[in-house]
Structure 1
């Protein structure tokens, strides 16, 4: 059973989580006219009076950008101030996940973005590993990733996640942990809620933004970390067959962090994962505040 943090932010105030309720007539519930964010936090391993949030500024900016697709002017610094106060009020004692959500909060029935109220809510829950850090099994989904010309994929628009849900359930009911989606050109795009990388000849290869992927913050972090480790990253189209001959394959995202892919359908993939493990270890060290070089990626909040 999920353990939710006790305080939520709802309708411009902090309230007990159980009191944060929307109407069944809420516009976003019917039309998917919302945009979500998600970021991780942990109590500082050496200081219980400090909470560490990973790349808070980037997460707030991306949600602000997503809100613009909904015709909602919500500055990133406003989102950040709400999240900081949210953490102070909840004082979490274990690894947790924060879900900020912007949405059309009015009760109208016409599918539109003009002349309707918008709002922001924030809640959180305790969260350890979303997927096994030791690795996952994947299948190629029969569902295809949407195209940017039909949906703003650079925003985390809630309506887009129907495809993720279909793909994830298809994978689970087929006996796999996760799904990998192709785009409309038949190239590898991403997993149900994560970006994907392969390793070939000690270089990272990942689909670029022209492959209808989400502009992942963990993806961006992996590329920067790899560069600092002397590992080149190439952004280009990836064929599904290339996954089968790669030296390593891994997924990355805020909830999942970095997770190696062990099997793809009926194919066993490499179990060495030398590069993947190196990136995993570095990312964990950064999020725990043990890497001074990346201190600007970790936002520290003092709690009493």
Structure 2
């Protein structure tokens, strides 16, 4: 378990992490009605540099809009959100790279199954930037659980309650000896992992499921596509069949908490052994994430 720093932003103030609490009768607890994002912060000579912070804020806005939480944008314009995250980091004084998980919870008690016109609260806490997957040689299995479709619980919205779907798939994968699960959609096409986007390489082309494939529109996914394009690597966003996984030259997954993780096998079928495009993109991604001169970083003063 990653170390959590002692102070949490909750409501409109910094409090002890132990004192940041939601009622057991709140919609956040009863129905999973919270949205969240996790962003990486690199610490460089005492400076706190947040990766694509405005994009993470925009994802909170979009997630709220999708599920009908109608107070976030008004209560937390970007500059107020950025200021809160700045105060949080300067209060905790991390010395190594960290993640910040920011959430917006409906904390009205017993409102029934609705989302509009309800009281809500912002929370954010800091924890060590430990990867959720090994960085190399991960073993994946295609899940018997299907990804929830956009017409049910949309993966495009980062809603806490929707992650029951991910828990079911990943726990089943762990029980079978895999590191994580690969979801298929209702038509049998590849979507993503339990909490990471997936890329394959076939004949020198980098391929990933498109935005309409019941995936989270990952911020790191977008970064990989941008970096690959800058490098002149042929890139496609398109439907991806299960059997393409088995004949891929390379597979890697990416996400805030997964970074870039190279895949060794899918359903017991080996991938590789060489991974030249993965190896080419990994240092570029690491530089985008941690180099103080990266155009993707926002210093929180």
Matches within 5 A, 1:62-101: 62-69=59-66, 70-74=69-73, 75-101=77-103
Residue of structure 1 equivalent to 2:47: 50
Contact residue 50 and residue 299 of structure 2 kept, 8 A: yes
Aligned to 2:109: 107
**Corresponding residue SS for 1:189:** strand
1:223-238 equivalences under 5 Å are 223-238=225-240
Could you say what secondary structure the match of 1:209 adopts? coil
SS in 1 for 2:212: helix
**C-alpha displacement of 1:94:** 1.6
The answer as to whether partners of 1:60 and 1:77 remain within 8 angstroms in 2 is: no
1:185 to 183, 187, 212: 187
Worse-superposed segment, 64-73 or 189-198: 64-73
Show CA shifts across 1:201-252 (max 9, x none).
Answer: 2111110011111110000000000011110211110000000101101111
Q: 1:100-146: CA deviations, max 9, x gaps?
A: 01111111241111232111111121122221112310000111001
Q: Contact 2:253 / 2:262 at 8 angstroms: preserved in 1? A: yes
Return the TM-score normalized by structure 1: 0.93
Query: Are 2:4 and 2:126, in contact at CA under 8 Å, matched by a contact in 1?
Result: yes
Is 1:296–2:286 an aligned residue pair? no
State the partner residue of 1:20.
20
Note the 1:246-285 alignment, pairs <5 A.
246-285=248-287
CA contact (8 A) 1:167 1:192 kept: yes
1:241 maps to 243
Q: Contact 2:148–2:154 at 8 Å: present in 1 too?
A: no
Q: State the distance in 1 between where 2:57 and 2:296 align.
A: 13
Is 1:4 aligned to 2:1, yes or no?
no
Mean CA deviation greater in 200-209 or 109-118 = 109-118
**CA offsets, 1:17-48, max 9 Å, x none?**
1111111111111111111110111211xx2x
Give 1:11 shift. Answer: 1.9
The 5 A counterparts of 1:142-221 are 142-221=144-223
Structure 2: segments with no counterpart, 5+ residues: none
What are structure 1's unaligned runs of at least 5 residues? none
Quote how far apart the aligned CAs of 1:285 are: 1.5
TM-score (norm 2): 0.94
**1:108·1:116 contact (CA, 8 Å) conserved in 2?**
no
CA separation of 1:7/1:174 partners in 2, compared to 1, >3 Å: closer, same or farther?
Answer: same
- Compute the RMSD of aligned alpha carbons: 1.4
Q: Distance in 1 between matches of 2:205 and 2:268?
A: 25
Question: Quick one: distance in 2 between partners of 1:93 and 1:268?
Answer: 39
Moved over 4 A (4+): none
